Chain A
Amino acid sequence: MSVVLLFVAALLVLALLPIGFGRAARVSTALYLAATAISLFLFGFALSHLVSGGAPLTLKLPIGLPFVGANFRLDALSAFFLAVVNLGGTAASLYGIGYGRHEKSPERVLPFYPAFLAAMNLVVLADDAFTFLLSWEFMSLASWALVMAHHKERGNARAGYIYLVMAGFGTFCLLLGFGLLAGPDGGYTFEAMRAGHATPLIEALILALVLVGAGSKAGLVPLHVWLPLAHPAAPSHVSALMSGVMTKVAVYGFVRIVFDLLNGGSWWSGLVVLVLGGVTAALGVLYALMQHDLKRLLAYHTVENIGIIFIGLGLALAFQANGMAAGAALALTAALFHVFNHSLFKSLLFFGAGAVLTATGERDMEHLGGLIHKMPLTSFAFLVGCVAISALPPLNGFVSEWLTFQAILISPVLPQWALKLTIPAVGALLALSAALAAACFVKAFGITFLGRARSKAAEAATEVDRFSLTAMFALSALCLLAGILPGFVIDGLAPAIQGLVGAHMPPQAGERWLSIVPIAESRSSYDGLLVFIFIALSAFIAATAVHRLASHALRRSDPWDCGFPNADPATQYTAGSFAQPIRRVFGTLVFRAREHVEMPPPGSLEPARFETTLRDLVWDGIYAPIAGGINYAADHINWMQFLTVRRYLTLVFVSLVALLLVLAL
């Protein structure tokens, strides 16, 4: 355990090094190299701990709260999340070696980057409320500093501000939640909290506070508003960490508190989480479809995936509350598998977006296009990420969604009527979001990488450096491996699941042909390896046969386009026009999408105009009134700023008396 903390401390030391000479290019390379090595070691350590199934490691440092100290513990759940954090950290640091060279203000990124990594490590290792909250807040602040790295770019300052407000509010809720968990005796270690018993009312309060606290960090609707602003604002490898890894740390916080410290809950807590997850998944992907900014699209997509994870968590809670440990294990495995998967492909996709940004200086898809010719390797890796996140076999995204579907299919046994009526609807939302995700990534890949270049910058793009490519291809390979060998991931998750719900999925390693069988073979099974081999083999046979037996003549010519070829790239479909049918079908209701066409009369030389307006109902309905209320209150108590000393003293006296009265009562 101490060795883990030593390495985390090394990350913190690393954060101090670039101060003073952060502008030197060599410092950047050395720092990212060191961060890669440290993360890789921590990943290896966490993985070996998880696989060996060793007893939890603990360590108590004499710092922090008096009589409590700083407690750290590495159990199976922590080990899994530690592995996820550091796998993402390794990839991002490796990518950073190349990407960091293009950084215009490295002194604003380098000190905070290792600090951010260290903070995420500390959150998953913390074993008492104080250490947890301190690390959590440290993580928020470090990432906030990274979001503000390019503070002069338009919109970034606002993004940072909203992030800071939301993060502060989230931590505040977690603080209250831990206060309730600790109870009147103040047992602030997690061990004491596990032993405590909460009344149903307190339990409901804790669940609500944790949902707000961890949910705002993870991006649950309606607490997601900061995420699509802040994630894209940071440098791309940090965006990858924030979207791929930090949201997972938030999921860890939720799982740790609700499943471990609170020990499950009542069935209605499952219901609440399920509904939130379903709404988040569907809304997240619809938001994503409406975006033309590549990084913002990816950030909104994180919201969708968090929804999918929470659907799994909600199902697990519902099963656990009804004493169905096997069902809970299946649902929780699906959720944690998706945590792992999402950390892989979302990091990969953000790396790809970063590569595009480096090569063209553009994030707006309407100015991109045709990059598959200029950046063939990046586009291939990005394509793998797109297929994986669209939940298409044989890659990894499909496996976790398939497991979630299987968990839904065994849920009619749940006795509560509310669950019976809700779960099919949530299943429908999940199916809808999976299909829309594929549409979204056809758009993202098709507009960005295919077609013809829509700007000079896209025309002049070149392939990115080796380090970035290595990081992207490593993640692509992992996406494929996790997709075709899912049994190993499920078995690796088993100790963590066992510790949380008291059961785990049947071991998968012994199944024939490395298939996965969640319950029984007559019920359902899936073999990613065979599907992959079949597809590869059929494509190979088809290609060989066609090239042997049929003509292999090929002639290059102008595009056919039904006889109307137009050389101007502006005649291509744009991101906006691609999403138009879906905007009409879903957006009219969800975003109050309106289209306004201004057609000049015949003969007039004025240009025709087409305008679409989208409204974010979550922002309009929740945040705008709150902000308005705060402004109103601030305006009306403003006079208190200009009182005389005498009046201030009176005010202090009155409030003191009032507080004493409250205490006395």
Chain B
Amino acid sequence: MSTILDLLVQGAQMALVLLLAPFLTGLVRKVKARLLRRRGPPVLQPYRDLIRLFRKEVVLAHNASWLFRVAPYLIFAATWVAVALVPTFATGLTFSWSADLIAITALIGGARFFLALAGMDVGTSFGGIGASREVMIASLAEPAMIMITFTVALIAGSTQLSSIAQFMLSPEAGLSVSLGLALVALIIVSLAENARVPVDNPATHLELTMVHEAMVLEYSGRHLAMVELAASLKLLLYVSLIACIFAPWGLAAPGAGPIALAVGAFSYLVKLTIGAGLLGLFETAIAKMRVFRVPEFLGGAFMLGLLATLLLFVLRSH
């Protein structure tokens, strides 16, 4: 009986992230629009966009290969699995042990690998420029993410997100310099990974600095919908990740009752809203940087992560 319940909770988590992802994207857009004194599209607009895309036919380039058609589903699947493994409203879900933070990073890396390949499949110059820049950004964002993982894992004594969240909730966890550095680094990595300002601009096409949008330029219809949904899921993943590690309050403990789960779900929604507000505020306040300034920005995150890890290595005396 408990196994079925566990599976249900795990399933609920997977459905929840899928349902909430476009909402988060819409919320960020709304916040940005309001800050610019525009009315902006409704928060539910991303859902409508997705439904419209799903209904449209796919226009495929003549020389697109099977990889181009398979990639959207693979990208979506890898991202969805990665998000499903991050504790959102409860820790210790049935399958949370099957992959740790390193594996989640690598899953996101896998999704990116196929996205970059899909960008190169049709053989257009825009696809190539997007893929080329994406892997350049990833080559710095991924190691920075691993260093953040090291920092958090050394503090919490685990790379499992459930264990990390439980440790952060326990009285043993305290403020530390390393944790602060890791938070800053994680925010930088999240901005870069999700193609947000100042690294990339999610709202533009046809700008020479674009990265993500250039890769998906040839996609249309349901394929584009899958890629867009995966992008929304990825944004949700990073917000959930920051919430789970640095603000784990309200997370339901393993085997908790329905009330605790409801509290967890509610606090998760609150955290998402706050995250969307902060992201919108940040994006409005800052300008997009030139593409070759990005390595310095991300290199900073990498160095912060390394510094945080180094501090922990040095301070660990036993």
Bound CA–CA A552/B77 (angstroms): 19
Task: Give the bracket for the number of chain B residues in contact with chain A.
Answer: 35 or more
Q: Is the CB of A370 within 8 A of B59?
A: no
- A477 within 8 Å of B (CB atoms): no
Q: A515-B97, A536-B77 are in contact. List 20 more A-B contacts (CB 8 A).
A: A392-B109, A398-B106, A405-B159, A409-B159, A411-B313, A425-B310, A428-B306, A432-B143, A435-B109, A438-B138, A439-B136, A447-B120, A452-B63, A522-B160, A524-B160, A555-B58, A556-B59, A557-B59, A560-B217, A562-B217
Q: Is the CB of B132 within 8 A of A558?
A: no
Determine the chain B residues whose CB is within 8 A of the CB of A513 once the complex forms.
Answer: 98
Check A425/B314 contact, CB under 8 A, given A392-B109, A551-B221.
no
Q: Is the CB of B132 within 8 A of A578?
A: yes
Q: Is the CB of B63 within 8 A of A428?
A: no
Bound CA–CA A539/B84 (angstroms): 14
Q: How far is the CB of A197 from chain B (nearest CB, A)?
A: 31
- A sample of 21 inter-chain contacts (CB < 8 A) reads A390-B109, A392-B106, A392-B113, A413-B316, A423-B313, A424-B309, A442-B135, A443-B135, A446-B117, A450-B123, A451-B122, A523-B159, A524-B153, A551-B54, A553-B57, A560-B220, A561-B125, A561-B218, A581-B292, A582-B136, A582-B139
Q: How far is the CB of A515 from chain B (nearest CB, A)?
A: 6
Interface residues of A in 457-512 (CB under 8 A from B): none
Stretch of A5-13, A114-122, A526-534, A609-617 lying at the B interface: A526-534
Check A405/B138 contact, CB under 8 A, given A387-B110, A525-B97, A531-B103.
no
Q: How far is the CB of A586 from chain B (nearest CB, A)?
A: 8
Q: Is the CB of A538 within 8 A of B313?
A: no
Q: Is the CB of A393 within 8 A of B110?
A: yes
Q: Is the CB of B135 within 8 A of A572?
A: no
Give the residue name and chain of the B residue nearest to A413 (CB): B318
- CB-defined interface of A358-400 with B at 8 Å, one 1/0 digit per residue? 0000000000011011001000000100010011110000100
- B95 within 8 Å of A (CB atoms): yes
Determine the chain B residues whose CB is within 8 A of the CB of A423 once the complex forms.
Answer: 313
Partner of A551 from the list B55, B66, B124, B138 (CB cut-off 8 Å) is B55
Q: How far is the CB of A279 from chain B (nearest CB, A)?
A: 15
Bound CA–CA A383/B70 (angstroms): 13
Q: Is the CB of A393 within 8 A of B107?
A: yes
Bound CA–CA A443/B78 (angstroms): 21
Q: Is the CB of B102 within 8 A of A405?
A: yes
Bound CA–CA A363/B312 (angstroms): 47
Interface, chain A (partner B; CB < 8 A)? 369-370, 372-373, 376, 383, 387, 390-393, 398, 402, 405-406, 408-409, 411-413, 420-421, 423-425, 427-428, 431-432, 434-436, 438-439, 441-443, 445-447, 450-452, 513, 515, 521-527, 530-531, 534-536, 538-539, 542-543, 546, 549-562, 565-566, 569, 571-573, 577-582, 584-585
Q: Is the CB of A550 within 8 A of B54?
A: yes
Determine the chain A residues whose CB is within 8 A of the CB of B61 once the complex forms.
Answer: 556-560
Interface SS majority for chain B: helix
Q: Is the CB of A551 within 8 A of B74?
A: no
Give the residue name and chain of the A residue nearest to B157 (CB): A523
Q: Is the CB of B81 within 8 A of A535?
A: yes
Determine the chain B residues whose CB is within 8 A of the CB of A573 once the complex forms.
Answer: 120, 125, 127-129, 131-132
Determine the chain B residues whose CB is within 8 A of the CB of A452 once the complex forms.
Answer: 63, 123
Check A445/B318 contact, CB under 8 A, given A515-B97, A523-B160, A531-B107.
no
9 shortest A-B CB distances, which residue pairs?
A573-B128, A451-B123, A553-B57, A431-B146, A550-B54, A581-B136, A435-B142, A431-B143, A539-B77
Give the residue name and chain of the A residue nearest to B206 (CB): A562
By CB atoms of chain B within 10 A, which of A452, A526, A534, A577 has the most? A534
Bound CA–CA A409/B154 (angstroms): 7
Q: Is the CB of A543 within 8 A of B73?
A: yes
Interface residues of B in 188-220 (CB under 8 A from A): 205-206, 217-218, 220
Q: Is the CB of B154 within 8 A of A412?
A: yes
Partner of B310 from the list A421, A434, A451, A555 (CB cut-off 8 Å) is A421
- B183 within 8 Å of A (CB atoms): no
Determine the chain B residues whose CB is within 8 A of the CB of A376 once the complex forms.
Answer: 66
Determine the chain A residues whose CB is within 8 A of the CB of B57 once the complex forms.
Answer: 551, 553-555
Give the residue name and chain of the A residue nearest to B220 (CB): A560
- B302 within 8 Å of A (CB atoms): yes
- B228 within 8 Å of A (CB atoms): no
For chains A and B in complex, what number of residue pairs have CB atoms within 8 angstroms?
A: 289
- B150 within 8 Å of A (CB atoms): yes
By CB atoms of chain B within 10 A, which of A393, A405, A413, A572 has the most? A393
Q: Is the CB of B63 within 8 A of A565?
A: no
Bound CA–CA A118/B67 (angstroms): 41
- CB-defined interface of B72-111 with A at 8 Å, one 1/0 digit per residue? 0110111011001000000000010111101100110110
Check A424/B120 contact, CB under 8 A, given A409-B154, A412-B154.
no
Q: Is the CB of A524 within 8 A of B158?
A: yes
Bound CA–CA A546/B59 (angstroms): 16
Q: How far is the CB of B301 from chain A (nearest CB, A)?
A: 12
Check A555/B60 contact, CB under 8 A, given A431-B147, A530-B95, A585-B140.
yes
Determine the chain A residues whose CB is within 8 A of the CB of B160 once the complex forms.
Answer: 522-525
Give the residue name and chain of the B residue nearest to A391 (CB): B106
- B265 within 8 Å of A (CB atoms): no
Give the residue name and chain of the B residue nearest to A409 (CB): B153
Q: How far is the CB of A435 from chain B (nearest CB, A)?
A: 4
Give the residue name and chain of the B residue nearest to A398 (CB): B106
Bound CA–CA A441/B56 (angstroms): 33
Partner of A450 from the list B107, B121, B309 (CB cut-off 8 Å) is B121
Give the residue name and chain of the B residue nearest to A535 (CB): B77
Give the residue name and chain of the B residue nearest to A289 (CB): B139
Determine the chain B residues whose CB is within 8 A of the CB of A431 once the complex forms.
Answer: 142-143, 146-147
Determine the chain A residues whose CB is within 8 A of the CB of B310 once the complex forms.
Answer: 421, 424-425
Determine the chain B residues whose CB is within 8 A of the CB of A521 once the complex forms.
Answer: 97
- CB-defined interface of B280-310 with A at 8 Å, one 1/0 digit per residue? 0000000000011001000000100110011
Bound CA–CA A409/B163 (angstroms): 15
Q: Is the CB of B116 within 8 A of A559?
A: no
Q: How far is the CB of B303 from chain A (nearest CB, A)?
A: 9
Determine the chain A residues whose CB is within 8 A of the CB of B136 once the complex forms.
Answer: 439, 581-582, 585
Partner of B65 from the list A372, A424, A525 (CB cut-off 8 Å) is A372
Bound CA–CA A320/B288 (angstroms): 50
Q: How far is the CB of B117 from chain A (nearest CB, A)?
A: 6
- B62 within 8 Å of A (CB atoms): yes
Determine the chain B residues whose CB is within 8 A of the CB of A438 once the complex forms.
Answer: 109, 112-113, 135, 138-139, 142
Bound CA–CA A33/B60 (angstroms): 45
Q: Is the CB of B99 within 8 A of A393?
A: yes
Partner of A524 from the list B60, B74, B159, B302 (CB cut-off 8 Å) is B159
- B238 within 8 Å of A (CB atoms): no
Determine the chain A residues whose CB is within 8 A of the CB of B103 once the complex forms.
Answer: 393, 398, 402, 526, 531
Determine the chain A residues whose CB is within 8 A of the CB of B77 once the complex forms.
Answer: 534-536, 538-539, 542
- CB-defined interface of B144-155 with A at 8 Å, one 1/0 digit per residue? 001100100110
Q: Is the CB of A546 within 8 A of B306?
A: no
- B226 within 8 Å of A (CB atoms): yes
Q: Is the CB of B81 within 8 A of A538?
A: yes
Check A369/B123 contact, CB under 8 A, given A531-B107, A535-B78, A573-B128.
yes
Determine the chain B residues whose CB is within 8 A of the CB of A580 once the complex forms.
Answer: 132
Bound CA–CA A402/B160 (angstroms): 13
- B133 within 8 Å of A (CB atoms): yes
- B222 within 8 Å of A (CB atoms): yes
Check A446/B120 contact, CB under 8 A, given A435-B138, A523-B160, A525-B160.
yes
Determine the chain A residues whose CB is within 8 A of the CB of B133 once the complex forms.
Answer: 581
Q: Is the CB of B65 within 8 A of A450?
A: yes
By CB atoms of chain B within 10 A, which of A405, A447, A559 has the most? A559
Q: Is the CB of B143 within 8 A of A434?
A: yes
